[in-house]
Structure 1
């Protein structure tokens, strides 16, 4: 899983959280994000932070809802540099959603919300499979 870190261009800050794939992981991931952003001196008032926290909550919720049966852990990777913030939600379920079709196929909510917010902030999103094909991480990058 951690091979995906090389996709990030020289992060100046990195933090990783692993938690049981339970509903409480959503709150823990969000609280951890708020703490690392504070430690990295990224203002909670920055226009990207609120949407980033919502995107993170949606992705962790989706991982728990759809992957917990085969993936007892969810991992969140937080990274930042001077002008961007990135995070990934990783689980060991092999299904890789087609992010850019999310709104078309699912209507509103979930991945459609994630993609709309990411697009509105001029961010990027992609899915990266684990090398063994048995898991994936959904990466979101947002400008600061």
Structure 2
């Protein structure tokens, strides 16, 4: 994947309350953005990407809402790359690195396996004040 995240020409930012409906809204917004960006929803990367997005938003809703009443989803794409991030203001940084052999269970295990299977990357970026983080996923198209 040759595209740098900063160079991706398509971007969209969505801020939502940290409640269960955020999962559906984040996914539907992703689908609308992809159509607008002329990335086919039947592309083999899109189904897994939407599942990864849903898992990350679900994790923020379940685990961060007590400290983060809102979450933000950042969507970005280019001709050969799809990227998105889920940001919340909870300081815990989930381990998304390491080998897939050391699988975790549940949503983050699914995220790790899907990202690895798609030859993508997953990075946790802490906020500069340490009070929150963004989980960035980038996938080749």
Q: Deviations over 1:64-111 (max 9, x none)?
A: 10000000001000000110000000000000011125963633x210
Structure 1 Cα separation of the partners of residues 98 and 90 of structure 2: 19
Q: Deviations over 1:103-142 (max 9, x none)?
A: 63633x2101001000000000000000110000000000
Aligned residues: 137
Structure 2 Cα separation of the partners of residues 106 and 44 of structure 1: 28
Match of 1:114 in 2: 111
RMSD: 1.5
Q: TM-score if structure 2 supplies the norm length? A: 0.93
Structure 2 Cα separation of the partners of residues 102 and 132 of structure 1: 29
Q: TM-score if structure 1 supplies the norm length? A: 0.91
1:20 to 17, 20, 27: 17
Structure 1 residue ranges (4+ consecutive) displaced by more than 3 angstroms after TM superposition: 101-106
Match of 2:49, SS? helix
Q: Deviations over 1:36-84 (max 9, x none)?
A: 0000000001000000000000000000100000000010000001100
Unpaired stretches in structure 2, ≥5 consecutive residues: none
Match of 1:123 in 2: 120
